[in-house]
Structure 1
């Protein structure tokens, strides 16, 4: 989910200071200062995957393989481990994000997009009033993650049931500020009108709002509908690769240009359900059908 933040780092830090988002910035000052990796051939990929409805993640096998769990939220009690985004967003999305669109139901985070007219801040960083015709929800983890010398592998896991409906844009991803100098990794993005598909991606740049990564989208087509039951989406972030797993099986490994530049960067996991936006082509707002994104849990493991 590509961001186009303007003076994001300074504005975000200011807002955090005054308690609007209560998020601590943790910029990594020890990241490698080596020059960017030389570009290699960059191509989008497309793969078919076998899904298992209501797949059960084997945590014991992961820890037996040398991973240590460092974060977990089963959404049993509250959202205290997350910052709640309030305001509009970027990418020409149509929704206003607010806490009211997120509920904890049967140990699930339920993010629901609704068709309703509200007026609120253009973004959390721009208080200019704007009228929105849709509302939804977005949360960002207070615990940062980083594949680095200290933890060379980070494994991020979530069990999710995707929303159906034209114009729904569920996303499970991580990023740091100022975008994209700390990178962005998209573990899962999907279109509600394409219930058998999702995609992955990543971004990186040396300067604010200047992405250098091109054509690194991974298109995964499942043999089962992703909106009717739960599936487990994983990303293993290491120095030279981004490996995606779907229901326990590796479906893609990215080793393209700039992947090594993500090593040592600091990011925060984000979950949101956008409505419309640049993710879609030939988009017709008249066809929007709202839905809900269900998140059973988020877990993070690290390994040396």
Structure 2
């Protein structure tokens, strides 16, 4: 399958609602051959196992909460995708997204299934793994009305070679409406948080260079819950871990072009793909990404 076909826009109809998504748009966003090696790597930052946060820490400062899922009910606020993605090993399916005990569990499993070879396309194939991928029905935008958007997520990354815990936002007609990869944690390097973003003026052409960065932590991000906060504004993307600012991303040349774009929030657990250089399929391990909550706040200015 050629790149143009792979990036064809698809319309997913779930529960009578339409969501415009790109099949695997974010799959070229990490450390694959188009991006090269990490461009920025932090000094080691301290993290606090099982840290938690309070909404009042933000609302008392003027933030307004516009989205919340504590995963104590169903997944009615999300679209669950079905099918594969180019160069990955798993078939995404709703069954791998499970709400249990107030947590969302996104599990990669070793099992043989037949499903769409590419999400949204009719051709099928056999897969040796399954996993989960979901996209919010609620859109997100840092714009003139809400200049600052803050995403807060408390989660445990999935351990295991070949897995990548992923939280990001993206828009249709990729990458003309942008993509922000807030959180990428490889299961083989669970003390490192990677982040990146993409933008282009025409479909399929990402213009952003040298924006991939790695935050090294002094703890295993799969061993305990940590709170990740991401602040998207007109000129920067900030990352907080357990209440501490660890990165302010201004590089890449195109963050201002993301302002005003409409994106959707996504959580997924890819198996293989372009996240791993010199990938060795025989070493793949299965695992689970556990999410306690996801919340979105907006503000009229950076607070």
TM-score w.r.t. the length of structure 1 is 0.88
Counterpart among 165, 183, 187 of residue 182 in structure 2:
187
Match of 2:238 in 1: 243
Shift of 1:44: 2.3
In 1, Cα distance between equivalents of 2:190 and 2:20: 36
Change beyond 3 A, Cα 1:7–1:116:
closer
Counterpart among 72, 76, 82 of residue 76 in structure 1:
72
Match of 2:39 in 1: 44
Match of 2:147 in 1: 152
Match of 1:95 in 2: 90
In 2, Cα distance between equivalents of 1:62 and 1:217: 28
Match of 1:110 in 2: 105
Change beyond 3 A, Cα 1:5–1:187:
farther
Shift of 1:198: 1.5
| Deviation digits for residues 55-74 of structure 1 (CA, Å, limit 9, x no counterpart) | 11132121112100000000
Shift of 1:24: 4.1
Secondary structure at the counterpart of residue 294 of structure 1: strand
Match of 2:260 in 1: 264
Give yes or no for contact 1:180–1:208 (8 Å, CA) kept in 2: yes
- Gapped runs of 5+ residues in structure 2? 22-37
Give yes or no for contact 1:8–1:177 (8 Å, CA) kept in 2: no
In 2, Cα distance between equivalents of 1:299 and 1:88: 28
| 1:185-264 matched pairs, under 5 angstroms | 185-256=180-251, 257-264=253-260
- 2:132 aligned with 1:137: yes
Shift of 1:124: 2.5
Shift of 1:246: 0.8
Equivalences, count: 280
Give yes or no for contact 2:191–2:221 (8 Å, CA) kept in 1: yes
| Deviation digits for residues 60-99 of structure 1 (CA, Å, limit 9, x no counterpart) | 1211121000000000010000000011124x11110001
Shift of 1:209: 0.9
Shift of 1:4: 7.5
Match of 1:36 in 2: none
Shift of 1:104: 0.8
Match of 2:34 in 1: none
Change beyond 3 A, Cα 1:5–1:302:
farther
Shift of 1:8: 3.5
In 1, Cα distance between equivalents of 2:281 and 2:293: 31
Match of 1:292 in 2: 288
Secondary structure at the counterpart of residue 257 of structure 2: helix
Secondary structure at the counterpart of residue 293 of structure 1: strand
TM-score w.r.t. the length of structure 2 is 0.88
Give yes or no for contact 1:4–1:179 (8 Å, CA) kept in 2: no
Shift of 1:119: 1.1
In 2, Cα distance between equivalents of 1:24 and 1:100: 20
Shift of 1:261: 0.2
